[in-house]
Structure 1
Amino acid sequence: AVAGVMGTGGGAAGAGAQVGPDGAAQGSSFVASWAATVKGQLTEFENTGKSSGGAWGAGFLATVEAGVPAQLVGMLANLVTPAVMANLAAQGSRTGAQ
């Protein structure tokens, strides 16, 4: 019935015969257009992520600052910073050696 209306598919439906219209060209065009649109938005996606991350970080720090004494924050920073710096130095030396 569709073949008669759409003018495709032919009257003899055998193995591999097309039934209905061929949408391959339209499908390929749609996918290419959609992919180009997404690719064009990658910078906006990245900037949105950075903005969201910055807002989350600012909110987290504001909450921590309000609830944790400054002396404790300073003590933790003094304990953690040397280990972080050592790891960064070790990573840099490994990267240079590769």
Structure 2
Amino acid sequence: MRRITTALTTAFLLVLGEASTAMAQESGAGKLHATEKLITEFGLGLIFFIPVFVALMSYGQAKLDKRKDRKKAAYRSSKGAAAWRGGW
């Protein structure tokens, strides 16, 4: 727990220190000399990337759920059938 706290505190302080440096350089342009076009393209990239990422991960999860269901069905139909019947 102590390592995690130290790591998070260090990361927070580094980000906090870099933010003030980035805003102070070249009229607030930052270290990458960001222009309006660069920021806009990055934002649009995020807008397109996030839904595609979510869709791909949902597709992957659906495939894994179907695989799990097939394994359950195979187990029920084979030697594990008695365990699923219940009763005496």
TM range (shorter): 0.5 to 0.7
Show the counterpart of 2:18.
Answer: 60
By relative contact order (CA 8 Å, sep 6+), the higher-ranking structure is 1
Q: Which 5+ residue runs of structure 2 have no aligned equivalent?
A: 61-88
* Structural RMSD (CA): 2.0
Calculate the TM-score normalised by the size of structure 2: 0.52
The alpha carbon displacement at 1:74 in A equals 6.5
2:39 and 2:52 map into 1 onto residues whose CA distance is 20
Q: Give the structure with higher Rg (CA).
A: 1
- Give the percent of matched residue pairs that are identical in Structure 1 and Structure 2: 9
Calculate the TM-score normalised by the size of structure 1: 0.48
Q: Which 5+ residue runs of structure 1 have no aligned equivalent?
A: 1-42
1:44 and 1:50 map into 2 onto residues whose CA distance is 10
Question: Which runs of at least 4 in structure 1 moved beyond 2 Å after TM superposition?
Answer: 68-74, 76-79
1:69 and 1:78 map into 2 onto residues whose CA distance is 18
Q: Which has the higher helix share?
A: 2
